[in-house]
Amino acid sequence: WAREVAGRCACGACQARLYGSGGSQPDVSRSGPARRTLKEWALLVSPFGRLRTRLPCSVAVRPLDPLTYPDGDRVLVAVSGVEGGAVASLQVRYDEAQKEVAIVSDVIDPQASVEVNAPLKFGKFEYQVIRSQKLHIQTKGGNVICLGTVYGNIDIHASDKSTVTVDKLQGSSVNVSTEDGLLKAKCLYTESSFLSSAAGDITLGSVHGTDTCNITLQSKMGNITVVIYVLTFEIRLLDV
């Protein structure tokens, strides 16, 4: 079945759509100039750990290759950018007691990019006030938690029962999906957003946009709860 519920405020400032199994996902451009790897880390870790980042540049997090690392005991970090860019400030460390990998820098070159390959069994991915051109996160089994505000074009995909919880996402393009886990976003500042889940619940809080902002939600089996504030208008959409 396919179902659509649309809410539009009188001034046309924002439009929200809920789709069932139908609908199409907006295209996400991932093109960009090739980056040169400037520095790499290979950390020996517990397979059941967590990842914490605080970076003002683009970040991509992907699952570690289970064929190359069958024990799932490595975190691979690579920073790319142009020669002479400020990347020396990047701190990459592993706290064995906390089982936490921290990747932190407040002054790294914003044009740099950081790629992380983490074990599939990592249980938590935590991101604090990230400002980047593009944020790409992919996890299978680990929960994604974004604290504070994440700026940039955002692409997050969580497989299996992994959940995604975010405080505030701000960017021209926001795409977040889960399979069987909760997707919860407290606040969106965006021109275009696509939030989807195969069987998990979706909860969306306040949305702020430009003259024409499009928010698309899609779920096959999960519940969808939306509260949208646009100027003085309030729209509540509930899909059970």
Please enumerate in sequence order all residues whose Cβ is within 8 A of that of 167, keeping only pairs 6 or more positions apart, or say none. Answer: 146, 147, 148, 149, 186, 187
Q: Could you tell me if 44 and 17 lie in one domain?
A: no
pLDDT tens digits, residue range 76-87? Answer: 999 988 776 667
Q: Is residue 31 part of a domain?
A: no
pLDDT tens digits, residue range 125-167? Answer: 776 656 666 778 888 777 888 877 777 788 899 888 889 998 8
Domain limit, last residue, from 65, 90, 122: 122
Residue 153's nearest CA partner among 126, 138, 125, 132 is 132
Q: Could you tell me if 147 and 101 lie in one domain?
A: no
Q: Is residue 231 part of a domain?
A: yes
Query: What is the domain range of residue 105?
Result: 36-122
Q: Is residue 98 part of a domain?
A: yes
Q: Is residue 11 part of a domain?
A: yes
pTM flag (> 0.85): no
Structural domains counted in the chain: 2
Label residue 179 left, alpha or beta by phi (over 0 means left) and psi (-120 to 50 means alpha).
Answer: alpha
Contact, 118 vs 46, CB < 8 A? no
Q: Return the pLDDT at 130.
A: 60
Q: Return the pLDDT at 193.
A: 83
Q: Could you tell me if 100 and 155 lie in one domain?
A: no
Q: Is residue 173 part of a domain?
A: yes
| CA quadruple 11, 14, 20, 21: dihedral, nearest 10 | 130
* Alpha carbons 173 and 126: distance in angstroms, whole number: 21
**DSSP calls for 88-100:** TT-EEEEETTTTE
* Alpha carbons 146 and 141: distance in angstroms, whole number: 16
Q: Could you tell me if 103 and 184 lie in one domain?
A: no
* Alpha carbons 124 and 129: distance in angstroms, whole number: 16
How far is the CA of 127 from the CAs of 29, 59, 196, 197, in angstroms?
A: 23, 10, 21, 21
Q: Could you tell me if 164 and 240 lie in one domain?
A: yes
Q: Could you tell me if 68 and 152 lie in one domain?
A: no
Q: Is residue 227 part of a domain?
A: yes
Q: Is residue 186 part of a domain?
A: yes
Q: Return the pLDDT at 16.
A: 36
Q: Could you tell me if 43 and 117 lie in one domain?
A: yes
